[in-house]
Amino acid sequence: MNIIVAQSGGPTSVINSSLAGVISAGIENDFDKIYLSLHGIEGIINDEIAEVDKDKYASENIKAKLMARPSSILGSCRFKLPANFDDEVYKKIFETLKAYQISTFVYIGGNDSMDTVMKLNNYMKDNNIADINIMGCPKTIDNDLMGMDHSPGFGSAAKYIGTTLRTLRTDVDIFDLKSVTFVEIMGRHAGWLAASALSANYGMDKDVVNFVYLPEDRKSLDQVFDEIKEALKYENNLIVALAEGFRDKDNKLDEERFSNQNDAFGHKIVSGVASRLADLVRNKLEIKSRAVELSIVQRTSNLISKTDADEAYQLGFMAAKLGIDNTNLVPVLKRKDKNEYEVYYESVSPDKIANNEMKIPETWLKDRKTLENEIIKYTLPLIKGEVEQVYENSLPVFVNLKDFII
């Protein structure tokens, strides 16, 4: 029998490590053919499917090359399966899976993708399809997947953010004046990545990051101004790590206000919360203030945490293995409750993860020092080590799909 794998949702720096895990498990468990669906589930719907060349995969050390290659090499999609099982798309999907003699299908993705996995499993139950196992393999930089200690992709993004903030600190300190730099970090509903910026403070004489504002901890604009004003009495140049989803308590920063604005050409202005706060602080406190958006660069950096990549690989391997064992569970990461960092793997039903969001624990939000201590303990092990990169002419080169398909 054959195995197929696809990648879905937003990319991460280690999503190809999970792919390598699935392929390696496919080879070790003697699947006849290992198929790759392009652009997530859409590849199965539209019959855009490639096949792994097992010899090339082994001889050219594609596993290591995939682990060094950020962003979904199979492409991705944002396709949501309809609630109605009578929809043609379900028939099409299972026709393709049967045509390719698939017994195991691994879908690497976030909570939306787990919704797809859940629906496909429910469809199979309703239609008495028992010879296919459809598994999810979790990923997201946002770290908001329920049922697990942390999400693969988070560690590498946090490593990029911590590194960038360390260098940014050397930059913002140079002028002898008062300034505030707002750094906008991904995270709409959960502030894990913005909070992880506090890791940059670890072991430093002077704070790299002075404040963190999170979606989980709404403050009024007055509170923000007061905190900043007070801190500027003791520090010249502040860095504020800001989750893109931070909004003030009184909704003065709400979407409505801003999306009603048009630019000079009559188009909506899409501006981030960092630049809004930078404008406000500049005007209110009459000091230098600027916004830095880490943008999509933060999610697919080639500065990849080795710990993160290894864990993502294990999850991919386990997902394939769970399919072989005839289950439809999703492998998840758990952390042992002891001083030295160690993970173990469990498996849960996809509905535990689908359409849900893990927030920063409320007890961590007591004050900045508590949050800093907790997030450092949590994050530092996840950013450990670097995946070695290949350079040509002093620029990174990455493996291509054509390097290991038939």
Residues in region 150-179 near its own copies by CB under 8 A: 159, 162-164, 166-168, 170-171, 173-176
- For residue 235, say whether it is annotated as part of any ligand binding site: no
The set of residues, in sequence order, having a beta carbon less than 8 Å from that of 222 and lying 6+ positions away, is none
* Closer to its own copies by Cβ: residue 121 or 199: 199
Q: Binding marks (x or -) toward its own copies, 244..263, rule CB under 8 A?
A: -------------xx-xx-x
205 is a site residue for its own copies (CB under 8 A) = yes
| 262 bridge partner residues | 268
Over its C-alpha atoms, the chain yields an Rg (Å, rounded) of 23
Active-site residue, selected from the candidate residues 142, 217, 248, 310: 142
142 classed as catalytic: yes
C-alpha to C-alpha distance for 328 and 124, rounded to whole angstroms: 11
- x-or-dash pattern for its own copies, window 176-195, by CB under 8 A? x-------------------
Exactly one of 47, 251, 400, 406 binds its own copies (CB under 8 A); which one?
400
Q: Are the C-beta atoms of 182 and 242 separated by less than 8 Å? A: yes
Interface pick for its own copies out of 17, 24, 301, 328 (rule CB under 8 A): 301
Question: CA-CA distances (angstroms) from residue 256 to 189, 221, 268?
Answer: 17, 17, 11
Contact 368, 212 (CB under 8 A): yes
Q: How many CA atoms lie within 13 A of 261 on its CB side?
A: 10
Stretch that binds its own copies, among 97-105, 134-142, 202-210, 343-351 (CB under 8 A): 202-210
10 assigned to a ligand binding site: yes
CB 121 within 8 A of CB 134: yes
Print the binding letters for residues 35-64 with its own copies: x by CB under 8 A, - otherwise.
---xx--x----------------------
Given a contact cutoff of 8 angstroms between Cβ atoms, the answer to whether 16 and 72 are in contact is yes
Site string for its own copies, 71-90 (x = CB under 8 A): xxx-xxxx------------
CB 191 within 8 A of CB 216: yes
Q: How far is 126 from 130, CA to CA, in rounded Å?
A: 10
Contact call for residue 282 and its own copies (CB under 8 A): yes
CA–CA dist 52, 406 (Å, integer): 6
To its own copies, the closest distance from the beta carbon of 86 in angstroms equals 26
Q: Of 83, 265, 339, 367, which one interacts with its own copies (CB under 8 A)?
A: 265
| Residue list for the binding site for Mg(2+) | 111
Catalytic residues: 142
